[in-house]
Structure 1
């Protein structure tokens, strides 16, 4: 066998080197692609988790808090809704994430079996009954404006409470049927509101109010207001009015709920003004 010339040896050496470089390039390219795919998968997972977490902070299963009309067999969304996860996430995140990621988040949410969602209390999508538009966002006002409105609403709420029966359980012989039910407001609820009114009025007037006292009052107003609002939403006003018209009309209950929920929101805004650092 003839010995290779120097030129042939050099040619083979260059060919082997080129093959090694090509192999290294393909290996590096494969590595870059794998890294990009892993990063894409991680970003996708993070995005889905972020969207699902955000959604669950804003919305909940309607059976948690939303009144149910047994006659019609459906929920009564008195606080806004029902909401579709696809529409909400699309509106909120279409400029941030891929449509496929949004659809995956929706699929994960709907895997719970829920397709119509209710807003959580206090979320961005939560709507109070009979809320004045000018009072829809208490945080837009100054501390002094919020305090002034709280005091005015306390006076208004006290006036409305004076028109309500002290104990609905004693509503004469004309008791409402089971599917209408009594307003969720008894002497204990009345006393709870009266204490909250006194505490709130005293604290708002102080130079340095107590955060725990304000928070306790906020909880009381929101608890009673929400209970009454849910009761109203679950019933037909005409049926309720017909049942308890001898004592007080359902619209009066709605006004009390609206004032109580409005004060709760104002107190939450005041707490943020005073104690957020």
Structure 2
């Protein structure tokens, strides 16, 4: 049986190394809270990660499902054998990072039989034809590990900005091409300032959670803008994406048509997610 990353709400799953229900009951309450939060962040994500945003249409376009409520989802999964107080603490932890959630693209569910020839899971990741996707990474467990992840993602993000900013041979792009760019020159300049500010936080003896959150919000806004640009440019692909192959088909096809923009979108969403993990592991500012 082939598998795919899916945003089907019905496809909830436990992350790798997740304790069994019996083992979960025997954990220390703090570890139970951590496990419930890990389960939730495995199955759900901020809409800014992958959900197209269109201001003219009223905001996020929930084509992958949602918005979902953390309390409802945690109750559905854990109520009855985990104390309500533990669930409440897990809800509070998730709501430190947001209140509206959508199904995550790192969940693994079965692919309908008619799609098995297209989607396969190999040792190197998920493939669809010549395209390759990944199944996500384990979340960091310490601020130091989270900061290292941010530094690595930031390096890739800076390269993606350079690629998106490359004007091409002769730098003679016509005005209409510049006007139709995914990001304006002003956006690029602001992005480079954001990169430098994030480097300062990485180098600081103690990072500021408030500064990191503000920088993450800026990067999410950029991802939203490029995501909306991609969605508008690939309406036909989005229609296909709503079919059986889902997000995998969308990612693969858009990457083929608009590689630098799609790469920027993916790297920006990952960087924002890594910053979020770092903020969640930092001690409270008070």
Question: Normalising TM by the smaller chain, what interval?
Answer: 0.3 to 0.5
Structure having the higher Rg: 1
What TM-score do the two structures reach when normalised by structure 2?
Answer: 0.46
Q: Give the structure with the higher percent strand.
A: 2
Q: Which has the higher contact order (CA 8 A, sep 6+)?
A: 2
What TM-score do the two structures reach when normalised by structure 1?
Answer: 0.47
Q: Give the structure with the higher percent helix.
A: 1
